[in-house]
Amino acid sequence: MSQNPDPAGDGNAAAQVKLNNETVGTIFLKSDMNAFYLRALWYIIMVIISVGISLFAAYLLVSKLQRSITDPIFDLSRLMNIISNDKNYSERAVVHNDDELGKLARGFNHMMQAIQTKNGELEEAYKEISYRQAKSVQQEKMASIGQLAAGVAHEINNPTGFISSNLGALGRYSNKLAEFIHAQGEALSSDQSPEVLEKLKGIRKKLKIDYVLEDLEELIKESLDGTDRIKRIVKNLKTFARIDEKECKLADLNKCIESTLNIVWNEIKYKANVEKEYGDIPLTKCFPQKLNQVFMNLLVNASQAIEEKGKIKIKTWNGDEFINISISDTGQGIPEDRLNRIFEPFYTTKVAGVGTGLGLSISYDIVKENNGEITVDSEVGKGTTFHIKIPIVE
């Protein structure tokens, strides 16, 4: 068989069939190239369309996957920002499906439920602690007043005692005056002879009228001074024991210290001499009743730190927009390794049975409540100084 592929160039081909070198026929092949090109173009278009559909399907799949992954993540991120900024623990995440992210959202919701429950419990616990702290402050104050009650009674009894004694003497003197005046009246009603005048002089001398007249004025003065002392002590005690006011008010801290010093005087006077150096300080807005408790705690502590006889120095001055107060003693001092703990609740350097360990802790909180500062310097064997700074607020 001999082949003649497309001799005319028209897309046709012919082949002769021979048998024993003799041509027995011719086979013609005819093809349509346009149809071939069309079919090829069709296949190409179909491939392009298939690729496009595949790409679009892939895009839809990726978009769905992205939404199913990113949306829950963005939702969780938004919720965490809300919780962080607003402290709103009632927010919950939306569970989109049951996949791993859905499980994460459920876990987040369970966690937020637990946090909300615990936060509620913490708020209740905080209220309870605040209540107990306020109660402890009042109990500490009452314990301090109870400790000072005997001394205050002694301070009240002293002026009351000499008032009673003076008034008794005043009664006796008045009787003598009455007797003399009566005798003088009888004498004057009779003849004023030298004998009568001499008799009056004798009676006057016997009854010590001249001394009575001199002493009478002094007795009355002492009695009035005693009653004033009683008034001051009772007034200061009432001021100190008054329920703490909730609003700030203008106060003179020099007067606050002096008032507190009168209350604790019986606790101090047998142990120390008090040296006062009050500076010219302005009035400031503060909680004066609470600061009185701070001053009382520091003064009593200073007295208790002195074993025998020592000195307590109180100094106030105005500086750097603060009212500065220092209370020093010449007591035992505090070891350096204990200084950083003296403001801790229930920590005390005193012997067992003396104090509750809350005085300085409460004092620290009160000073902070007044936007102030309290620090301490101490040296064993030389004494301790507490420094208080209260801002000047008009």
The pLDDT tens digits of the residues spanning 233-273 come to 766 666 665 545 567 889 899 999 998 888 788 888 888 89
Number of domains in the chain: 2
Task: Report the share of the chain in percent with pLDDT over 90.
Answer: 12
In a domain, 311, yes or no: yes
Phi and psi at 273, nearest 5°, equal -90, 135
AA letter at 349: T
> Which residues form the domain of 258?
244-391
pLDDT: which is higher, 189 or 158: 158
Distance between CA atoms of residues 229 and 231, nearest Å? 5
Q: Is residue 212 part of a domain?
A: no
Other CB atoms within 10 A of residue 299 CB = 25
**Bridge-based pairing state of the strands 373-379 and 310-319:** unpaired
The residue from 64, 86, 108 where one domain ends is 86
Domain boundary among 28, 55, 86: 86
Predicted TM-score (pTM) of the model is: 0.50
Residue 62 inside a domain? The answer is yes
Cα separation, 252 vs 392, whole angstroms: 11
d(CA 364, CA 264) in angstroms, rounded, equals: 20
> Residue 357 domain-assigned?
yes
In a domain? residue 154:
no
Give pLDDT, residue 57.
81
370 in any annotated domain: yes
Task: List, in sequence order, every residue forming a beta bridge with 16; answer none if it has no partner.
Answer: 2, 26
pLDDT tier at 352, thresholds 50, 70, 90 = very low
101 belongs to a structural domain: no
Give the model's pLDDT for residue 194.
Answer: 73
CATH number of the domain that 362 lies in? 3.30.565.10
List for the chain the helix, strand, coil content (%; round to 5): 60, 15, 25
Of 86, 106, 136, which residue sits at a domain end? 86
Strand pairing category for 284-286 and 249-251: antiparallel
The percentage of the chain sitting over the pLDDT mark of 70, rounded to a whole number, equals 68
Highest mean pLDDT pick, 76-85, 281-290, 336-345: 281-290
Q: Are 348 and 362 in contact (CB under 8 A)?
A: no
- Distance between CA atoms of residues 56 and 146, nearest Å: 88
Lowest-pLDDT choice from 70-84, 237-251, 343-357 = 343-357
Long-range contacts at 343-349 (CB < 8 A, ≥ 24 apart): 343/374
Mean pLDDT of all residues in 170-194: 72
148/253 Cα distance (integer angstroms): 22
Report if residue 364 sits inside a domain: yes
pLDDT of 348 strictly over 90: no
What order do you get walking across the sheet with 310-319 strand by strand? 272-277, 310-319, 322-329, 383-391, 373-379
Tell me how far CA of residue 239 lies from CA of 232, 256, 259, 287, 292, in angstroms: 10, 10, 9, 12, 9
Q: State residue 137 phi and psi, 5-degree precision.
A: -60, -45
